[in-house]
Amino acid sequence: MRTLIISDIHLGLPGLALRRPSRSAASLEPLFDGVSAVILNGDTADIHQPRFAPEAMRLLGALREMAGRMGVELVEVCGNHDATEGSRTHVLLAGGGILVSHGHAFSPRMLPWVPSTGAMSRRFAEMLAANPPTLDGVVRAANEGALVQWSEEASADEPTSIWSIARSPSRVLSVLRWWREYPRDAATFAERYAPESWCVVCGHSHRAGAWRIASRPGAMPRLVLNTGSFSFPARPFGVLVDEAAGEIQLRRVRASRGRYELEGRRAANCWRIH
């Protein structure tokens, strides 16, 4: 079993002027070669942004069709851009040792730089009280908080970009502070809601990387792997879980000849599956 985990493709969202291939089933097809399953770990398609929803749904349909044609199991986990009723909130791999979840539920500060961040946090808190204190319940509460953004005129049609952040110094500071705290938030989330998981695979923050971090002094350190984003700042990674080899890898996704493909294995970015 070889499972690839990617996130934050943001189908339907306009691309960046960085000479990256357009995000489509055709450009993503090389990532599906040689794996038995692909987990799309949230924000796969911008189905909640009114301007981009029709194209997002068309591209998502093409991606699903391609996976079926290639015989690859496609597992879709919800994110804050594509949370729907009954959508999958997480996946557990390697006997529960690896938690795969988008990451918008890790902290009430879901998107600290958007105009509706306060309203989103309040709705998230309200729904936390109404949902069971389980992994599913917390993510579904976060989904409800995320939906507030799309009902707010100030941010419903605003795609996150370097320009929308850079024009406000407070936004820049919010992003930098949140990026610093996010890996620990992921470890804290796992300790509370998936204590058997020694590894957390997430996206959402658009900052790719690997951290070995504990939620608090004396707690078990957890491996936090973030797959970045195909959208801004366009530095995507994939996590390859190879259960036969007993290995989990974080591998860069590079653009080549108009398509996306995994870079080769690097020993420094490989860990044994516990």
| 191-202 pLDDT per residue, tens | 999 999 999 999
Residue 156 has a pLDDT of: 46
* Strands 73-77 and 91-93, bridge-based pairing: unpaired
- 1: closest CA among 34, 33, 40, 42? 34
Q: Supply the pLDDT for residue 129.
A: 92
Amino acid 14: pLDDT: 84
Q: To which residue do tokens 């507030």 refer?
A: 148
Average pLDDT, the chain: 91
Bridge partners for 201 per DSSP? 100, 225
Per-residue tokens: 63? 């991606």
The total of other beta-carbon atoms located within 10 Å of residue 124's CB is: 23
Please state, in angstroms and rounded to a whole number, the distance separating the CA atoms of residues 50 and 108: 24
Instruction: Check if the beta carbon of residue 238 is closer than 8 Å to that of residue 35.
Output: no
AA letter at 34 = G
What pTM was estimated for this model as a whole?
0.93
How far apart (Å, rounded) are the C-alpha atoms in residues 127 and 125?
A: 5
CA distance 227 to 101: 11
pLDDT at 154: 45
At 199-222, the pLDDT tens digits run: 999 999 999 999 999 999 999 999
Q: What is the mean pLDDT of residues 96-119?
A: 92
One-letter amino acid of 92: L
pLDDT at residue 160 in the model: 53
Span 37-90, pLDDT tens digits: 999 999 999 999 888 999 999 999 999 999 999 999 999 999 999 998 888 999
Distance of alpha carbon 249 from alpha carbon 3, whole angstroms: 11
- Where does the pLDDT of residue 151 fall: very low under 50, low under 70, confident under 90, or very high at 90 and above? confident
Q: Where are the domains of the chain?
A: 2-109+160-272
Predicted confidence (pLDDT) at residue 158 exceeds the cutoff of 70: no
In the chain, % of residues over pLDDT 70: 91
| Res 168: pLDDT | 63
Residue type, 271: W
2-109+160-272 CATH: 3.60.21.10
Stronger pLDDT, 245 or 159, i.e. the higher one: 245
Per the structure block, which two tokens stand in for 172? Answer: 């820049």
Percent of the chain with pLDDT over 90: 75
